[in-house]
Copies of this chain bind each other. A is one copy, B any other.
């Protein structure tokens, strides 16, 4: 397979860490998506390998359970020829009294190029970016952000609509607990989409309205205007207080089903970050229907993670060479 020439993109990219989408410019997001598209094509839909990052090593440092995101990052690294190494919380040094920063510094001292981290505490990736000399990628920090999930959603929409500018995109469901929602909100806004935040009042903070976003509590009221619906999973495992009377009540108001599809635009895109709860936020005929791009999102997850690993690494190489030259 021929390796695509991505240097013109790398030259315009300066960051060594991917911590959130809130702080990225529209140009930076565009570079990430452009490189992701090229890498997706060059790897035949993320199915083949390139030797773009051979000899480099990606460490996954996950302090919350994750198979999907962890493996998506691992596969992205391997598809570019890099090696991977897995760290986690169970049986780890943190359990023996080590600080999180010391754990991460130890991993860095093993000679890794990227640390991909997931942690329950917001801001943890920022802490690592300050403490470590290598690249840091946020794979989810509490309810704060999950930037590569936001990017894969943006890429999926862009592939279907050409551009994000002017589209109406609704995020539906459990906004309160969702880092996916946050990364989508900031990324979509930056790229010129109109964002509607829709869910029960218990799961949608009025703060969003103050920040200038449209807030809705009834899906049916906004549905006819939407170009894209992103159906967030009800994270039962994160909810101590029950934010709605029952799954049935939730589904009645917010589940995307065949009846609602008839009220939607003809070319509406149905998205979900997965894992999906069939019969809760989405019914099988919608999940498996022609408007659903749920599995494309998964493939695009590999693409945007390859893109992020590549761009951060290119910036890091420049930074290290500059340091060497000035030393």
Residues of B within 8 A of A99 (CB): 278
Q: Say whether A161 faces chain B, with CB atoms less than 8 Å apart.
A: no
- The copy count of this chain in the complex is 3
Residues of A contacting B: mostly: mixed
| Structural contact, A275 and B67, CB atoms closer than 8 A | no
The answer to whether A75 and B85 have CB atoms under 8 Å apart is yes
Q: Which bucket holds chain A's interface residue count?
A: 35 or more
Q: How far is the CA of A237 from the CA of B68 in the complex (A)?
A: 30
Q: Are A68 and B106 in contact (CB under 8 A)?
A: yes
CB within 8 A of A49: which of B55, B78, B86?
B55
Q: Nearest-CB distance from A197 to chain B (Å)?
A: 23
- The minimal Cβ–Cβ distance linking A307 to chain B, given in whole angstroms, is 15
Taking CB atoms, residues of chain B closer than 8 Å to A302 are 110-111
Q: Which stretch (A40-48, A172-180, A215-223, A261-269) binds chain B?
A: A40-48
Instruction: Closest B residue to A303 by CB, please name it.
Output: B111
Taking CB atoms and an 8 Å cut-off, the chain A residues in 62-90 that contact chain B are 65-68, 71-72, 74-75, 78-79, 83, 85-88
Q: Mark A125-149 against chain B: 1 for CB-CB distance below 8 A, else 0.
A: 0000000000000000000000000
Are A47 and B97 within 8 A (Cβ)? no
A277 → chain B, closest Cβ, in Å? 5
B83→A66 contact, CB < 8 A: no
A29 within 8 A of B: no
Q: Does A37 contact B (CB under 8 A)?
A: no
Closest residue on chain B to residue A65 by CB atoms:
B91
B57 touches A75 (CB 8 A): yes
Q: Is B298 within 8 A of A96, CB to CB?
A: no
Within 8 Å of chain B (Cβ to Cβ): is A225? no
10 closest A-B pairs by beta carbon, nearest first, are: A98-B275, A65-B91, A93-B275, A109-B298, A47-B111, A49-B55, A109-B295, A46-B111, A97-B277, A67-B92
